[in-house]
Amino acid sequence: MAEGLRERKKRQTRQYISDVATGLFLERGFEAVTVAEVADAANVSVNTVYNYFPAKEDLFLDRSKGVVDRLSRWVRGRRDGESAAYAVLRELREEVESVSPRMGLMDGYAGFMKVVHESPALRSRMWAIGQEVLVNLEQTLREETGAPGEDPLPTLMAGQINWLHGTVMVEIGHRMVAGGKPSEVSREVLLLLDEMEDLLSEKVLNYAVRGAE
């Protein structure tokens, strides 16, 4: 379905406000910039900013929305004969090997992470996003396996599989902040993924195999 003019204008306005805010945060730090200053720089009202972004943190972490259901999407899209963990490992390797900006493998990511590290509010929101990822993954594993609510296995498995994604993202952030180049960090994290896979038990690696009886 084609995007209407009104919808396109709203999307463009939202993107513009987010871009302006991100520029200010990168320049001065998250805590030092007010929503009123963002509105003024974007030539919109404060109410307009809040209409698009309910909280100040949303202005800087707007692009993180796709992360919340990332693991669930990967698990639901696993191939025949592939387990949940192997699906996530495959997707992570493909993203890292392609030097994907979605994984933070891009110029400028160090500046982004520096702003996050210096802001308690952003660190708190990042933690909350991580919890959403975990909760979504647990629910997906229950749906995919038919496990009853009292079964603790999906919770335990979600923690193990989420560890893969969370550790990769943290390592990429650390290495980029330390001055690593995207292509170099990509190669280093691919080796790390091999080591991480070796640490997982067979029970984890063979959980929720698609097509298994």
Domains of the chain: 5-60 (1.10.10.60), 63-205 (1.10.357)
Read off the pTM: 0.88
The distance between the two most distant Cα atoms of the chain, rounded to a whole number of Å, is 60
- Residue 106 confidence (pLDDT): 95
3-state secondary structure of 99: coil
User: How far is residue 167's CA from residue 133's CA, in Å, rounded to a whole number?
Assistant: 13
Please report how the helices 109-117 and 5-28 are oriented relative to each other, as an axis angle in degrees rounded to 10: 70
- On average, the pLDDT of the chain sits at 94
Helix, strand, coil shares of the chain as percentages rounded to 5?
Answer: 75, 0, 25
Secondary structure E strands in 120-207 = none
CA angle 14, 16, 17 (to 5 degrees): 65
- Residue 5 confidence (pLDDT): 86
- Give the residue ranges of the chain where pLDDT is below 50: none
- Residue 143 confidence (pLDDT): 96
Q: How far is CA 15 from CA 9, 42, 142, in A?
A: 10, 11, 35
